[in-house]
Structure 1
Amino acid sequence: MSSEQGRVAVITGAASGIGRGLAEYAAGLGMRLVLSDVDEPRLLALCAELQGRGAEAHACVADVGDPAQVECLRDFTVARCGGVDLLFNNAGVMQTGHCWEIGHAQWQRMLRVNLDGVINGIRSFVPLLLAQGRPAHVINTASLAGLLSSPLMAPYNVTKQAVVALSETLHYELSQLQASVSVSVLCPGPVASEIMASDQVEGVAGAQLNQLLDASIRQGMTPLRLAELVFAAIAEKRFWILPHKLFKPALQRRVQSVLEESNPVFQFVAADEPGASHVAG
Structure 2
Amino acid sequence: MVIEQGQVAVITGAAGGIGKGLAEEAAALGLRLVLSDIDGQRLTALAEELAAQGAEVATLVADVGDPEQVESLLALAQQRFDGVDLLFNNAGVMQTGFSWEITAAQWQRMLDINLRGVINGVRSFVPLLLRQGRPAHIVNTASLAGLISSPMMAPYTVTKQAVVALSETLHYELAMLQAPVSVSVLCPGPVASDIMASNRAAGEAARQLDSLLDSTIRQGMAPRELAQLVFAGVAEGRFWLLPHKSFKPALEQRLASILEETNPVFQMVDVEGEPHGA
Q: Which interval holds the TM-score relative to the shorter structure? A: over 0.9
Indicate the SS of the match to 1:130.
helix
Task: Identify the residue that residue 14 of structure 2 maps to in structure 1.
Answer: 14
Q: CA deviation at 1:61?
A: 1.0
1:267 and 1:203 map into 2 onto residues whose CA distance is 23
2:4 and 2:209 map into 1 onto residues whose CA distance is 40
Task: Identify the residue that residue 203 of structure 2 maps to in structure 1.
Answer: 203
Is the Cα–Cα contact under 8 Å of residues 11 and 88 in structure 2 kept in the other structure?
yes
Indicate the SS of the match to 1:267.
coil
CA deviations 1:5-26 (Å, max 9, x no partner) are 0000000000000000000000
Q: What are the residue-to-residue correspondences of 1:149-228 with 2, within 5 Å? A: 149-228=149-228
Task: Identify the residue that residue 264 of structure 2 maps to in structure 1.
Answer: 264
Task: Identify the residue that residue 55 of structure 2 maps to in structure 1.
Answer: 55
Q: CA deviation at 1:75?
A: 0.4
Q: CA deviation at 1:4?
A: 2.1
Is the Cα–Cα contact under 8 Å of residues 12 and 91 in structure 2 kept in the other structure?
yes
Backbone CA RMSD of aligned residues: 1.0
Question: Number of residues paired by the alignment?
Answer: 275
2:171 and 2:237 map into 1 onto residues whose CA distance is 11
Task: Identify the residue that residue 83 of structure 2 maps to in structure 1.
Answer: 83
Return the structure number with greater relative CO, CA threshold 8 A, min gap 6. 2
Q: CA deviation at 1:205?
A: 1.1
TM-score by length of 1: 0.97
Runs (4 or more) in structure 1 with deviation over 4 Å come to: none
Q: CA deviation at 1:3?
A: 4.3
What runs of 5+ residues in structure 2 fail to find an aligned partner? Answer: none
CA deviations 1:39-60 (Å, max 9, x no partner) are 0010011000000011111111
Identity of aligned residues (%): 70
Task: Identify the residue that residue 274 of structure 2 maps to in structure 1.
Answer: 278
Is the Cα–Cα contact under 8 Å of residues 34 and 57 in structure 1 kept in the other structure?
yes
1:183 and 1:270 map into 2 onto residues whose CA distance is 28
In structure 2, give the amino acid aligned to 1:17: G
Indicate the SS of the match to 1:200.
coil
1:39 and 1:3 map into 2 onto residues whose CA distance is 28
